């Protein structure tokens, strides 16, 4: 009997929710009917959870690249030498997930900066109405987005859009301040554990703020409930932090 085709490479995309609706339905239907792929997907989930619990460290970029390449090669060898679910697949999946973990120390602050720059040039909804922008996001995102009135800080709302910060769907909205300086705020569902070591840590009203500098731009991250909030601007860092303090609320 011919061995059925298994969506090996697409399982990671399924786990990361990166497939389109049609592809997701196709791969999920296969997984539901295939014991081997269900087991592989379960192993990948377990490995991901374990990888996220590993202590974080800032390894040199060259070392990370070499480890990822070696682990990727080992994973491919394990898959090509498949001899049964109990041996080949879990080892291959675990190696792939460790490689993904090591390679996934993505620079989310840099991604947040890129998203802010992109949003400033392509707002989906141009408005000064804070409640109206909240309603706009409510119809497009699975979480509630707070759009504050920052008029007391001399910043007026310009508009917003739905965008991406790496794999995270995000609400992105922009304010214009004195001299047309821009402040972009972003909100997405995630965890601070995904972030690299910050350049600074600050605290205000019992809220911890992680400060990152990427070139001339500052990105400030903090947590509100299940959401990660970000303030991004190329104004002086202390001013960005002060605006983040003004916007943040303790949930």
| pLDDT tens-digit readout, 133-160 | 999 999 999 999 999 999 999 999 999 9
Backbone angles phi, psi at 116, to 5 degrees: -65, -45
8 A C-beta contact, residue 186 and residue 170: yes
Share of the chain above pLDDT 70, in %: 75
Helices (H), 123-188: 130-138
pLDDT, greater one: 203 or 43: 203
Q: CA 76 → CA 52, 73, 89, distances in Å?
A: 22, 5, 10
Q: Is the pLDDT of residue 198 over 70?
A: yes
8 A C-beta contact, residue 15 and residue 41: yes
Q: Is the pLDDT of residue 79 over 90?
A: no
Non-local (6+) Cβ contacts of 91 within 8 A are 78
Please report, for the chain, the start and end positions of each structural domain, with discontinuous segments joined by +: 8-103, 108-247
User: Could you report the per-residue pLDDT of 174-195, keeping only the tens digit for each?
Assistant: 999 999 899 999 999 999 989 9
208 DSSP 8-state letter? E
pLDDT, greater one: 62 or 251: 251
Report the C-alpha gap between 10 and 137 in whole angstroms: 30
Report the C-alpha gap between 198 and 205 in whole angstroms: 19
- Architecture in CATH of 108-247: 3-Layer(aba) Sandwich (3.40)
Q: Is the pLDDT of residue 60 over 90?
A: no
Report the C-alpha gap between 230 and 172 in whole angstroms: 9
């Amino acid at each position: 009997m011919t061995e059925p085709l298994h969506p090996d490479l697409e399982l990671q995309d399924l786990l990361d929710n990166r497939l389109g609706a049609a592809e997701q339905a196709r791969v999920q239907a296969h997984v539901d009917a295939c014991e081997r792929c269900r087991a592989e997907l379960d192993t990948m989930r377990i490995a991901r959870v374990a990888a996220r619990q590993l202590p974080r460290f800032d390894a040199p970029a060259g070392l990370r690249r070499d480890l990822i390449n070696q682990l990727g090669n080992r994973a491919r060898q394990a898959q090509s030498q498949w001899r049964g679910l109990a041996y080949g697949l879990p080892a291959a999946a675990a190696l792939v997930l460790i490689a993904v973990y090591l390679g996934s120390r993505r620079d989310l602050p840099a991604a947040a900066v890129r998203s802010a720059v992109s949003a400033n040039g392509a707002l989906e909804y141009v408005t000064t109405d804070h409640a109206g922008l909240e309603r706009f996001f409510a119809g497009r995102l699975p979480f509630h987005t707070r759009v504050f009135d920052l008029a007391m800080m001399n910043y007026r709302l310009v508009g917003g859009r739905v965008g991406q910060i790496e794999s995270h769907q995000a609400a992105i909205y922009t304010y214009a301040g004195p001299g047309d300086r821009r402040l972009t705020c972003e909100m997405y569902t995630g965890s601070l554990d995904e972030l690299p070591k910050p350049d600074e840590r600050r605290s205000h009203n019992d809220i911890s703020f992680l400060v990152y500098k990427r070139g001339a731009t500052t990105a400030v991250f903090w947590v509100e409930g299940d959401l990660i909030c970000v303030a991004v601007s190329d104004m002086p860092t202390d001013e960005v932090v002060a605006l983040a303090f003004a916007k943040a609320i303790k949930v």
